[in-house]
Homo-oligomer: A and B are copies of this chain.
Amino acid sequence: MTTYTAPLKDLHFILHDVLKVTDSGIPGYDALDPALTSAILAEAARLAEDVLAPLNRPGDAEGCRLENGVVRTPAGFRAAFDQVRAGGWHGLDLPEAYGGQGLPSLIGTAAGEIFVSANMAFNMYQGLTHGAVGTILAHGTEEQKRTFLPRMVALDWTGTMNLTEPHAGTDLGMIRTRAAPQPDGTWAITGQKIFISAGDHDLAENVIHLVLAKAPGGGEGTRGISLFIVPKVLVNPDGSLGARNALSVGKIEHKMGIHGNATCVMNYDGATGYLLGELHKGMRAMFTMMNEARLGVALQGYAVAEAAYQNAAAYARDRLQGRAVTGAANPAGPADPLIVHPDIRRTLLDQKSFIEGARAFTLWGATLIDAAHRGGDAAALGLISLLTPVLKGFLTDRGFDCAVAAQQVWGGHGYIEENGMAQFVRDARIAMIYEGANGIQALDLVGRKLAAEGGRPVMAFFEMVKAFIRENEGEAELKAGFLDPLKAASKDLQAAAMHFAAEGPKSPDAALAGSTDFLHLFGHVCLGFMWARMAKAAIAGLAAGASDPAFLSAKLLTGRYYMARQLPATALHLARIRSGADPVMALPAEAF
């Protein structure tokens, strides 16, 4: 069986030594002093370690069942959800006006990592509700907010997002679900949606579906799309629950992973819906939901890898097999632990150096969101908009690789389901697919975000990296191990962006043929930047006589590994991008 321990020391280091959140000037961050964040995260850790993690493997083995039209979640999920509800975890970073605690999203993100690592499938019931709340907050009427938000913030009701249809995944312009206006101002929703995560369950008394549908008069394609609130159970004017709405679960999918979360086919048969946001502007409202969801998925990418890594490292320390090539490390035992072997250390460091960099990147991203939403910082909004596809695509691709590598450390025992390592791989796999498959993230990055605002956000990113290098290159240890490699990697990224700028106008295919490589190149530069910032904090801490020098030394060594052995991938990505469109586009479709 696998175990999980929340990385509280690592989270503290990023929040307070790297991001220095209380000094950041972001509205609300003055409250996030070490005493508060430590208390919150320690409590999240207790719930995650003691309640959620032990349900991860059983939830996977049992899965969800559809019984007489009602979804049953695995044994123990309901009691655990009651604890999440009672702890007020969902409202941590939601407005006090609707029953939340009003803290910044940064602390919600940090706690979220802990919950996802412990039990990704379980946490999705809460995570999707969070996205739905955000959308109603941004686009709902006062009455809609009053009706739905208090109960959703409290997790009495949960939320979903209904986009996909059998023939329309990425291409939402083709959806067929219709909304017909009713005399009373409501809409009758009719159609079928698929892949609806947390679409139904027995954890709460109502499910509030946000459904994309076409209302008359909007025109073809995505222009005609509007967003609707469609509750499973209708809500009476006094807030009590009324009649069942005309919607049902068609089936639940048999998936490769996240078995503990019910992925539903939802049938809407003239169900009563309420327009959310402007008519025919549903795509814009949907993106509010999608952007938050994408950051949540980015977090899943590294959080599942963290859980897998912890168990790989533990196995490598315990499992005795073979002898160190430099002489027995455990001469009294029958063999040495796996961790003496260089190739085992290599794979563990690949994982560890990615995960720690990804954590810093994600939490930094959360500060940008807070700066944008709480502080009205337009530059921060532009930057997080640019970085969202990088976070989602890079962290889920590499997070999956890490889960596979962690499973590999267990050898044949990793392939046996009872041991739990295979589940990490199966669960992590979905994060590369949903909320916009990673190829779509790359398209969004290269085809849209790079040129947004005349390229101002990407320029600002380059400038930020350059300024950091300039300000810190007097520190010799930082310069050689971190800043010089970061400078080289950042130059590769700029060269790639210039290649697109030069070739794109001539051939749009040239840019798109390199889109996935560009996304990964960008991801490496971001992690390199994060490692440089973490190294700076570690060096400063060591110089100041920090109480745990071993922790800070390990940070430096792990960072040096990333810079020496992962960051050089930028040159490969640049070489591929420069090979242009022809290798990708020349083969006729029928020759594939």
List A residues at the B interface (Cβ < 8 Å): 164, 167-171, 173-174, 194-195, 253-257, 313, 316-317, 320-322, 325-326, 334-335, 337, 339-349, 352, 400, 404, 407-408, 411-418, 422, 425-426, 429-430, 432-434, 437-439, 442-443, 447, 508-509, 512-513, 515-516, 550, 553-554, 557-558, 560-561, 564-565, 568-569, 571-572, 575-576, 579, 581, 583-592
Contacts and interface: CB of A to CB of B under 8 A. Distances in A.
B426 A408 contact: no
| Copies per complex of this chain | 2
A64 B96 CA distance: 55
A335 B171 contact: yes
A321 B170 contact: yes
B343 A417 contact: no
A280 B161 CA distance: 65
Contact of A339 (B426, B550, B560, B589): B589
13 contacts: A169-B413, A171-B320, A194-B412, A325-B447, A325-B509, A326-B509, A342-B515, A343-B512, A343-B515, A564-B576, A565-B583, A568-B575, A568-B576
Given A339-B592, A554-B591, A565-B579, A433 B411 contact: yes
Contact of A584 (B173, B174, B349, B508): B349
B322 A171 contact: yes
Contacts of A430: 415
B348 A415 contact: no
A422 B554 CA distance: 38
A417 B257 CA distance: 9
A335 B174 contact: yes
A443 B509 CA distance: 42
Nearest to A574: B568
Contact of A560 (B516, B558, B576, B583): B583
Contacts of A194: 412
A557 B256 contact: no
Contacts of A579: 564-565
A307 to B, nearest CB: 15
A125 to B, nearest CB: 18
Given A167-B320, A345-B584, 11 more contacts: A171-B320, A253-B416, A254-B418, A343-B515, A346-B516, A347-B439, A347-B516, A348-B592, A349-B587, A415-B430, A426-B426
